[in-house]
Amino acid sequence: MIAALLALVLYGLASHQLAGHARGPNPISRRWLLLAVPAVLLHAAVHGVAWQALGGPELHFYAALSLVGLGMAALTTALGPAQRIEALGIIVFPLAALVLAAHVLLGGGRPRATLSWQLEMHALFALLAYATLAVATLLALMLWFQERALRQRHLGGWLRVLPPLTQMETLLFRSLGVAFALLSLTLLTGVVFVDDLFAQGLGHKTILSILSWLVLGVLLFGRWRWGWRGPRAAKLTLVAMGLLLLAFFGSKFVYELVLHRL
């Protein structure tokens, strides 16, 4: 509990510091890392302690949400300084704090569903895909807003601390490529290790995941073949993310919180 509280405080301070830099005239310094890095480590420690106590990873609804938030925060912290996308932390860090708090307050003490190591690997790929695609979705929205602001000649606030449009586009499609690869591994391990992907309770999840994978594939092909960008890329990224959220968290919400099944 102490580790979780410290992580929440540090996430809040890191986001506040980044927001202050975005409003000010000076470039963002890297002092926020002194807050974000221990926040991410403490967030990971909360799950590590819970896994040790339960004898394996917990993947119930709130734990899975928290793990995705952890992945987003870790990606933002790792890529922020090198790619000049620290402004993501203004949104990502409070979101990570929120899902961590939900996990600690609402999800603790739940029995762990017994999974083989193959299914645990499948779930890990899925969570990594969600985290990467979520970061890509935020990048797509930022790129969209950045383009609109440039057309209106009103590039102020947090938008001015973002990298140039070309660099943002490159980073966006690299993130989408990684998300597509991770989602491909998720589907592949599902085919190999899950007995029947279209069994009752898995059919809609599988179909929605495949649809998300297809949308990402079409977007990446459109970028390569026709140079798709801007609002079209942002909209398709949002569609892919929405489908993936419905596939995994929509299913978990209904089964675990509504029907009370593990």
pLDDT at 112: 55
**Is residue 218 scored above 80 in pLDDT?**
yes
Largest CA distance in the chain: 57
pLDDT digits (tens, 9 = 90+) for 25-79: 555 667 889 999 999 999 999 998 888 877 777 788 888 899 999 999 999 999 8
H or E segment to which residue 237 belongs: helix 230-245
Question: Kind and range of the H or E element at 195?
Answer: none
Is the pLDDT assigned to residue 219 strictly greater than 80? yes
Q: Which residues contact 83 (CB under 8 A, 6 or more apart)?
A: 163, 167, 171
* Residue 201 region by backbone torsions, left for phi larger than 0, else alpha for psi between -120 and 50, else beta: left
Cα within 13 Å of Cα(253), Cβ side: 7
Per the CB < 8 A criterion, the answer to whether 237 and 140 are in contact is yes
108 pLDDT higher than 90: no
Q: What DSSP designation does 145 have?
A: H
Cα 70 off chain centre by:
8
